[in-house]
Structure 1
């Protein structure tokens, strides 16, 4: 099974990288961009065969390592 984790800063948390991207896009002539939030995607290959077990295991990974849950939120896709 494959898992994809999307990690983003929580709403209200300052995103300096997103702001730098927005500024650079403006400098390149893309003035219609009003805001950018930058995050990360993590892809995992899992041995699990049951979707529920895989999702639970990946959630534990996120809570322990992949996301800083104080300032970040995450979503999990299992395929």
Structure 2
């Protein structure tokens, strides 16, 4: 599969759809993606962290643990929240 070029002008829905099509969990601090999940948008999983209070280190630790403990199948359609440590 060829890497997708960065598309910063695409809508959130397009980004979420592209991630789902590629079986990728989307990591974001944009709450609009949480709204999309309530509208029943299909996705391969979302990791969400607040813009305030969650450090880069928190993100790295969470994603590392997430990757080590979750399978692709068990995160489909789920939203996970990065917490401050």
Normalised to the residue count of structure 2, the TM-score between the two structures is 0.28
More helix by share: 2
Normalised to the residue count of structure 1, the TM-score between the two structures is 0.30
Query: Which of 1 and 2 has higher RCO (CA within 8 Å, sep 6+)?
Result: 1
More strand by share: 1
